[in-house]
Amino acid sequence: MSLLEVDAINSFYGDSHILFDVSLRVEETECVALLGRNGAGKTTTLRSIMGVLTPASGTVRLDGKPIQGLPPYAIARMGMQLVVEERGIFGALTVEENLRLAALSAPSAWSLERIYAAFPRLGERRRSGGRTLSGGEQQMLAIARALIRDARIILLDEPFEGLAPLIVRDLVRVSRELVQQGRTIVVVEQNVVAALSFADRVYVLNNGHVVWQGTPDELHHDPVLMKTHLGV
């Protein structure tokens, strides 16, 4: 049994059919990348998994338990966290206040010391307001808020969008370390090179369909697929 199982989900925005029988699986302590061009359905897949959008049909199971139709807060309490592309930082609160707020309803919250050990930069800026953080620092904080809730599986939506290469490198390193420490990650990313550098397996989406799945090495050796669906 996989930690996360998505079986033939179909999702709509109004009358627009976005996902067509999308199926995927994620094993515990692995990183799975969802890749594809803009509009392929990657973010909609994450939103459907997290309960932000309820699939019209199909099933989503977390640790063997059906979760489709549950509200996001209930799914979060079961151990899954979605880090949205917009990051959702509270600009009027400090770094530490953002973290404490995230930890309030967590069944088993991490200590602040553990978070700062994973993200030393956040420790340095613990008293800084959210709106004063750089884009990279905001992304670190967004991931840290998921971690402080002791998430078993983290869904990352475009975590490297708009960030400088050095910041991307640091976030890739942190993501790799999290998987090594037993976390499970599903990442949606336009930066194909960065995503493939720490993913264990890959799903490629196109127009709401899963068109390919395999390992990063297999994808690298299929230049036609890379060019056709990823523009690389």
Residue 130 maps to a domain: no
Alpha-carbon distance 96 to 115, whole Å?
10
CATH number of residue 156's parent domain? 3.40.50.300
Largest CA distance in the chain: 49
pLDDT tens for 87-116 read 889 999 999 999 999 999 888 899 999 999
Residue 92 maps to a domain: no
Alpha-carbon distance 93 to 129, whole Å?
5
Residue 215 maps to a domain: yes
Q: Of 81-85, 104-108, 198-202, 205-209, give the lowest mean pLDDT range.
A: 104-108
Residue 197 maps to a domain: yes
Burial 36-53 (b: 16+ CB within 10 A, else e): beeebbbbbbbbbbbbeb
The answer to whether residues 160 and 189 touch, using CB atoms and an 8 Å cutoff, is yes
Residue 97 maps to a domain: no
Alpha-carbon distance 5 to 206, whole Å?
20
Residue 8 maps to a domain: yes
Residues 6+ apart with CB under 8 A from 85: 43, 157, 158, 161
Please give the residue range of the domain that contains residue 21: 4-79+152-230
Alpha-carbon distance 54 to 71, whole Å?
9
pLDDT tens for 26-72 read 999 999 999 999 999 999 999 999 999 999 999 999 999 999 999 99
Please name which of 191, 186, 181 lies closest in space to residue 201, comparing C-alpha atoms: 186
Structural domain total, the chain: 1
